[in-house]
Structure 1
Amino acid sequence: MQWGITLILLSIIAVPSLILSRKPEAKELLAKIEPYQGWIGLVFCFWGIWGIITCVLNLDWLTKWPVWWATLLAGNSIEAILGFMLGFGTINKLVLSKNATAQEKASRLREKLAPKLGKLGILGIFVGIWMIVASFLFF
């Protein structure tokens, strides 16, 4: 159940990026949110990776609860991807801040990823709800 709740929370953080990416005047607001969003994204990225590792370590669940195992793997994959995409700005600041060319390329990539982030966030909300329901049904 905690996997679904964390995925929903992360997805709620990701969805405003869809709205903000479509309005050019909202870039200033997105820049203010970015530091917090980045650290939260990195934490959730590691949480999602840990969930994927849990799925791999518990392959025997595939024979006992195949729907639950597939749900857990899908939800944690989405969580890891969302976390990475949200944490991208922090990675850019921490790692790429010394190279102006790399930072420019990274900011262009971020502009391309922002609309996909919102769509993945919406998918994450639905998968998170399903994870909560499936935790009661199958596990």
Structure 2
Amino acid sequence: MIYGITLMILGVLASPNLLLAKKPNAKEILDKITPYQGWIGLVFCFWGIWGIIQAVLNMGLLTNWPIWWITWLASSLVEAVLGFILGYGMISKLLLSKNEEAKKKGEQLLAKLAPIQGKLGLAGIIIGAWVIVAGILFYA
């Protein structure tokens, strides 16, 4: 359930236009979070990558719990990508700055993902909500 909530929060951070359209005073909240966006993105990127690794290592769940396993993999993928987009500045500074080729590839990847950031944010919100519902359905 925590995984779904955090994914929904990440989705809102990735698509602030959705939140600002619904609540005009949300800009103040987003402005408070912006200085920490790089760290938040970095943590979520690694958390998403860890979730992908764990899902692949636990492929046996696919035979008994296919919906849950697909949900796990999808949420981890979206979380890793959104975390990368939001945390790219911090990732570049801490990890990619030492290798010029890696930095260039990171910039190319960011350029490909940036145009779909809003859609990925919306997907994060939807998948996060589904993770909560699936957690209740499959683990209750």
TM-score normalized with structure 2 length = 0.72
1:124 equivalent in structure 2: 124
The within-5 A match list for 1:91-106 is: 91-94=91-94, 95-96=96-97, 106=107
Q: What SS is found at the alignment partner of 2:59?
A: coil
Gaps of 5+ in 1: 21-28
2:50 equivalent in structure 1: 50
The within-5 A match list for 1:49-128 is: 49-94=49-94, 95-96=96-97, 106=107, 113-128=113-128
- 1:37-80 deviation line (CA, Å, top 9, x unaligned): 11100000111111112212221211111000001100111000
Distance 1:9 1:19 in 2: 11
Give runs of ≥4 in structure 1 deviating > 2 Å.
17-20, 91-97, 108-115
Q: How much identity, in percent, do the aligned residues show?
A: 57
Distance 1:76 1:54, change over 3 A: same
Distance 1:138 1:9, change over 3 A: same
C-alpha contact (below 8 Å) 2:12/2:19 kept by paired residues:
no
The within-5 A match list for 1:25-40 is: 33=34, 35-40=35-40
* Matched residue type, 2:39: W
Q: How many residues align?
A: 124
C-alpha contact (below 8 Å) 1:5/1:132 kept by paired residues:
yes
How far is 1:133 from its partner? 0.5
Q: What SS is found at the alignment partner of 1:59?
A: coil
C-alpha contact (below 8 Å) 2:48/2:77 kept by paired residues:
yes
